[in-house]
Structure 1
Amino acid sequence: MHDGSRILILDCGSQFTQLIARRVREARVYSEIHPPTRSLAWIKEWKPTAIILSGGPSSVTDEGAPSFDPAILDVAPVLGVCYGMQWIAHVSGGEVKGGGHREYGRAEIQVKENRGLFAGFDAGERSIVWMSHGDHVEVVPKGYVLTASSDGNPVVAFRHESKPIHAVQFHAEVAHSVRGADIIQNFLFDIAGAKPDWTPGHFIEQEVAKIRELVGDAQVICGLSGGVDSSVAAALVHKAIGDQLTCIFVDTGLLRLHEREQVERTMGQHLGIKLVTVRAEDRFLTALKGLDEPEAKRKAIGHTFIDVFEDASAKEGKDAKFLVQGTLYPDVIESVSAKGGPSATIKTHHNVGGLKPDMKFQLIEPLRELFKDEVRNVGRELGLPEEMVGRHPFPGPGLAIRVLGAVDPVNVETLRRADAIYLEEIRAAGLYNEIWQAFAVFLPVRSVGVMGDGRTYEHVIALRAVTSTDGMTADWYAFPHEVLARISNRVIREVKGINRVVYDISSKPPATIEWE
């Protein structure tokens, strides 16, 4: 755990909880998300610099609704957001009602006092925020002061008269709240006295020490995919233990075009890490045979990965005790409720929920609490080349979850060639660094076309490109039409078996970035 300032976020079930963590991290303050079931004793032992109570779908009077020991309000400065505000009002003697003042989407608030959360605002200033609530605080608790209101709700923010307890009905963490970052930073620095000490250098220093203590003189292997996450994880562990680390690169037969050659060249020449390449295309394709459901495919790939690692480790004679993986915080959040909280499970990531329960390795996941942009910054601090840390994300299951439905080797190769053309044209247009992730998808449908004056009945390729910061939310990228036209023309002309190209204009949410 980070030894500087740290913010404890208690997850009451909001899908925005992860955005709170993002905003705190962006202010260079460490944060962690934990369930509301953490005991008062645990919270005190964690020693938070401040506590944030998230929003959530429950009513404070519902049976089984998230709740806390009221003594939590005396442990550290507290910020209640939406449901968190309603809980503070409820346990402090205020009145919370359902309905009547429901607000969803953009709303305008009026600041009543320009201090505390609203320091730097003008007195009486109106500001756009993002609301998402059915219940509302009808009466401010005794001992608290109203600090903001809206036309739809007379109570949208309050503070305690003397204690560092503040609350807002709106979601300051959402980008649509125009001055939300100012409000969060006012809480972190002016109210809680946090220090902006969450930096890549500090993280590396702490993780290197932890890895050395954990590993001792044991041997370690790293599942290296060549993507940003596993490359940064490998570099970090290598910095800690040097030649005790052996990286195993598995050619699953589900990689991008020339992926194996690029990984062998870059990792061997630049990092000087021992790299063992395992050709396991047949094993993965056999494991996937007959599977068309995404979760089943992910689990089959995860289990096969571990089998391959175990076999490779035994073959190398190292008898490795630890396995390094590039698991990130969004992987954990989407695979299980964050730290066991009530937020919904979205999908199982092969390196989180897909691992074999009886595997012999002890996991080392040094990036488990980082978002993607933080991983890139750690990679730069470690001296990795920009061509490596700036690469678009590539999922561990590879092309298996981009060939929708059953995985056929011919369809994989078709997709691989279409994807290569897509990325080549994006780079040629100078757009690669503007896009967070871009890839092609092979659809399990056929459409009628006309080629050379003849009828065709062939497959469809979908193109996906998004802008994002961390992968938790994403918007589709608005390509210039001429770029899309070139990509479509080349894919249909050069890739056998494709006669139609479509572009995905879905954002996340409601869609996910990957199709499976």
Structure 2
Amino acid sequence: MEKILIIDYGSQYTQLLARRIREFGVYSEVVPPNKKLNLKNVKGIILSGGPNSVYSENAPVLESNMLKLDIPLLGICYGMQLIAYNMDCEVKRDANGEYGRTEILIEKKDELFNEIPDKITTWMSHGDSVISLSEGFEPIAKTKNGIIAGFRLKSKKIWGIQFHPEVRHSEFGSDIIENFVLDICKIKGDWSLSNFIDEKIKEIKNKIGDKKAIIALSGGVDSSVAAVLVHKAIGKNLKAVFVDHGLLRKNEPEEVKRIFKEMIGLDLITINAKEKFLSKLKGVSDPEKKRKIIGEEFIRVFEKFAKENDDIEYLIQGTIYSDVIESAASGSNTSVIKSHHNVGGLPKEMDLKIFEPLREIFKDEVRSTGEILGIPKNILYRHPFPGPGLAIRIIGEITEEKLKILKNVDSIFIETLKENSWYNKVWQSFAILTPVKTVGVAGDSRKYEYVVSLRSVDSVEGMTADWSRIPFDILNQASNRITNEVSEVGRVVYDITSKPPATIEWE
């Protein structure tokens, strides 16, 4: 199969770039910079961005033969600077850099910018800048303050751009990627999720075979799709285990049991581990420690179950691409944002072998995969819910009282959205219990109660997100219900921060 190879220099957007390419029906593969390249069927190479400077000690380098290959090459951000640095152009360290939305001017109608307007807004995130080009290069785009935003080596099919076209904040970003992938690399668009499913089922059969596996089923989209996919491959050799750790949404355990026993027909085993998890989390406020504790405790619960059923060898997890990226598991150069319980939260030593059938695809692709597999839409289009559950939506120490408060607040918010036909208009909505208390009034009495924040975002794959413009009257309705029905809450606020600069979850 023809493919585009992406060399990952540590950008948080690298896998997002791979996702954009797949939108054109083109298979993309992400590899670290130190891996020996297999160029079979490779029709184009993209050098990703990254957090380093080309002048930094131990900064990742460009393979010496990369610029000699007769394959189209595109450098993005750090990738552009690497090309320039290795081709005797001048790269300057800049203390200020450029970050966020930046307007650029297209100076030359090159193949890369075919049918792109002369002026577009792009997403920049860089410190170093290419300030002059060596012989053979020509600038094809600049920022308003004169910084080179794009260049081309005239004698070869080599391009560099300083902005991130893969981020949705970049106007015409997908068009620029499409120009490179389809027009310059001349690749066929014959990759699909149906291909992925067929290949993954073969892989599961080959890897697990007649051995037994268990899956950590949470009732969320990812674990649901992973369960059905693996079940298709190994049938009764998969046991679905639902761990009630006490950190789920209101009435979630009962709903999970109903859906997966009655609607999907999986043999579901429930383990009540509330007391164990909450005792381990007692007194813990640091979000990374919470994630690590929950990740380890999950594994210990499953190991205990596996020992009681000693023929089980594999633990299936619903890890997806965005989990891997944010846990910095996709490349050694990636800056850690936060660890996920099913990636960075796993203990180093464990008896079960981990298998993650969805780790190469994004949330929207997971949902599409689920539709192909025949999973009901009311499961697939539930809002995402983090593996650590409400533990990372309670800022600070977790207590049973705080869990009760947050479950009630979250339930009211979701109910209000559904009643007003807004639940399916947004990507993810939830509530956060802050450790802050403020003064309020109830009747003629002074109150001193918790502040909760409501959070709702619009996204496609979870790598970038914008805050949802929910009508004020709906937010007002949710706020009134929360403060009237949950006596421990005295103030409700709404989070209007996008990703970036924030993450979707608060912890």
Residue 270 of structure 1, CA deviation: 2.4
Contact 2:7/2:31 (8 A) holds in 1: yes
Instruction: Report matched runs for 1:306-317 at 5 Å.
Output: 306-315=299-308, 317=309
Contact 1:92/1:142 (8 A) holds in 2: no
Q: C-alpha separation between the residues in 2 aligned to 1:133 and 1:74?
A: 26
Contact 1:173/1:181 (8 A) holds in 2: yes
Q: C-alpha separation between the residues in 2 aligned to 1:154 and 1:346?
A: 29
Report whether the alignment pairs 1:336 with 2:335.
Answer: no
Counterpart of 1:36 in structure 2 is 33
405-414 or 383-392, which deviates more: 405-414
Q: C-alpha separation between the residues in 1 aligned to 2:357 and 2:218?
A: 16
Which of 109, 112, 116 matches 1:113? Answer: 109
Counterpart of 1:319 in structure 2 is 311
Residue 420 of structure 1, CA deviation: 0.8
199-208 or 12-21, which deviates more: 12-21
Secondary structure in 1 aligned to 2:182?
Answer: helix
Instruction: Report matched runs for 1:404-415 at 5 Å.
Output: 404-415=395-406
Residue 155 of structure 1, CA deviation: 4.3
Counterpart of 2:81 in structure 1 is 86
Residue 331 of structure 1, CA deviation: 0.9
Secondary structure in 1 aligned to 2:151?
Answer: strand
Q: C-alpha separation between the residues in 2 aligned to 1:57 and 1:318?
A: 45
When residues 218 and 36 of structure 1 are mapped into structure 2, their CA distance, relative to the original with a 3 A threshold, is: same
133-142 or 367-376, which deviates more: 133-142
Residue 406 of structure 1, CA deviation: 1.3
Residue 143 of structure 1, CA deviation: 3.8
Residue 367 of structure 1, CA deviation: 0.6
Residue 99 of structure 1, CA deviation: 5.1
Counterpart of 1:203 in structure 2 is 196
Instruction: Report matched runs for 1:410-429 at 5 Å.
Output: 410-429=401-420
Instruction: Report matched runs for 1:159-170 at 5 Å.
Output: 159-170=152-163
**C-alpha deviations, 1:184-212, integer Å up to 9, x for none?**
11111111122323322111001000000
Contact 1:103/1:152 (8 A) holds in 2: no
| Residues matched between the structures, number | 505
Contact 2:104/2:141 (8 A) holds in 1: no
**C-alpha deviations, 1:395-420, integer Å up to 9, x for none?**
11111111221111121112111111
Secondary structure in 2 aligned to 1:461?
Answer: strand
Structure 2 residue identity aligned to 1:212: K
Which of 444, 449, 452 matches 1:461? Answer: 452
Contact 2:9/2:47 (8 A) holds in 1: yes
7-16 or 279-288, which deviates more: 7-16
Report whether the alignment pairs 1:363 with 2:354.
Answer: yes
When residues 380 and 74 of structure 1 are mapped into structure 2, their CA distance, relative to the original with a 3 A threshold, is: farther
When residues 380 and 57 of structure 1 are mapped into structure 2, their CA distance, relative to the original with a 3 A threshold, is: same
Which of 11, 21, 25 matches 1:24? Answer: 21
Q: C-alpha separation between the residues in 2 aligned to 1:54 and 1:375?
A: 24
Structure 1 residue identity aligned to 2:369: V
Contact 1:113/1:148 (8 A) holds in 2: no
Report whether the alignment pairs 1:500 with 2:491.
Answer: yes
Contact 1:278/1:312 (8 A) holds in 2: no
Q: CA RMSD in A?
A: 2.3
Q: C-alpha separation between the residues in 1 aligned to 2:15 and 2:288?
A: 23
Residue 61 of structure 1, CA deviation: 4.1
When residues 309 and 135 of structure 1 are mapped into structure 2, their CA distance, relative to the original with a 3 A threshold, is: closer
Q: C-alpha separation between the residues in 2 aligned to 1:254 and 1:113?
A: 55
Contact 1:298/1:350 (8 A) holds in 2: yes
What TM-score do the two structures reach when normalised by structure 2? 0.93
Contact 1:101/1:135 (8 A) holds in 2: no
Q: C-alpha separation between the residues in 1 aligned to 2:276 and 2:126?
A: 50
Counterpart of 2:429 in structure 1 is 438
Report whether the alignment pairs 1:9 with 2:2.
Answer: no
Counterpart of 1:50 in structure 2 is 44
When residues 155 and 220 of structure 1 are mapped into structure 2, their CA distance, relative to the original with a 3 A threshold, is: same
Runs of 4 or more consecutive aligned structure 1 residues displaced over 6 Å after TM superposition: none
What TM-score do the two structures reach when normalised by structure 1? 0.91
When residues 276 and 337 of structure 1 are mapped into structure 2, their CA distance, relative to the original with a 3 A threshold, is: closer
Counterpart of 1:476 in structure 2 is 467
**C-alpha deviations, 1:410-439, integer Å up to 9, x for none?**
211121111111100001111111211111
When residues 193 and 420 of structure 1 are mapped into structure 2, their CA distance, relative to the original with a 3 A threshold, is: same
Structure 2 residue identity aligned to 1:481: F
434-443 or 506-515, which deviates more: 506-515
Q: C-alpha separation between the residues in 2 aligned to 1:298 and 1:100?
A: 34
Contact 2:367/2:381 (8 A) holds in 1: yes
Contact 1:219/1:318 (8 A) holds in 2: no
When residues 499 and 201 of structure 1 are mapped into structure 2, their CA distance, relative to the original with a 3 A threshold, is: same
Q: C-alpha separation between the residues in 1 aligned to 2:95 and 2:249?
A: 54
Counterpart of 1:401 in structure 2 is 392
Residue 222 of structure 1, CA deviation: 0.4
Q: C-alpha separation between the residues in 1 aligned to 2:12 and 2:125?
A: 11
Counterpart of 1:304 in structure 2 is 297
Secondary structure in 1 aligned to 2:243?
Answer: strand
Secondary structure in 2 aligned to 1:12?
Answer: coil
Secondary structure in 2 aligned to 1:277?
Answer: strand
Counterpart of 2:177 in structure 1 is 184
Q: C-alpha separation between the residues in 1 aligned to 2:384 and 2:341?
A: 15
Q: C-alpha separation between the residues in 1 aligned to 2:391 and 2:423?
A: 23
Structure 1 residue identity aligned to 2:357: P
When residues 67 and 255 of structure 1 are mapped into structure 2, their CA distance, relative to the original with a 3 A threshold, is: same
Instruction: Report matched runs for 1:243-282 at 5 Å.
Output: 243-282=236-275
**C-alpha deviations, 1:56-94, integer Å up to 9, x for none?**
344434443321123113443210122322322332343
Q: C-alpha separation between the residues in 2 aligned to 1:100 and 1:216?
A: 55
Structure 2 residue identity aligned to 1:353: G
Q: C-alpha separation between the residues in 1 aligned to 2:339 and 2:144?
A: 42
Counterpart of 2:370 in structure 1 is 379
Q: C-alpha separation between the residues in 2 aligned to 1:249 and 1:470?
A: 26
Secondary structure in 2 aligned to 1:88?
Answer: helix
**C-alpha deviations, 1:149-176, integer Å up to 9, x for none?**
4553374333333433222233322333
Q: C-alpha separation between the residues in 1 aligned to 2:335 and 2:468?
A: 27
Instruction: Report matched runs for 1:64-103 at 5 Å.
Output: 64-75=58-69, 76-98=71-93
Residue 455 of structure 1, CA deviation: 2.1
Q: C-alpha separation between the residues in 2 aligned to 1:121 and 1:302?
A: 46
Residue 377 of structure 1, CA deviation: 0.8
Using the aligned pairs only, state the percent identity. Answer: 48
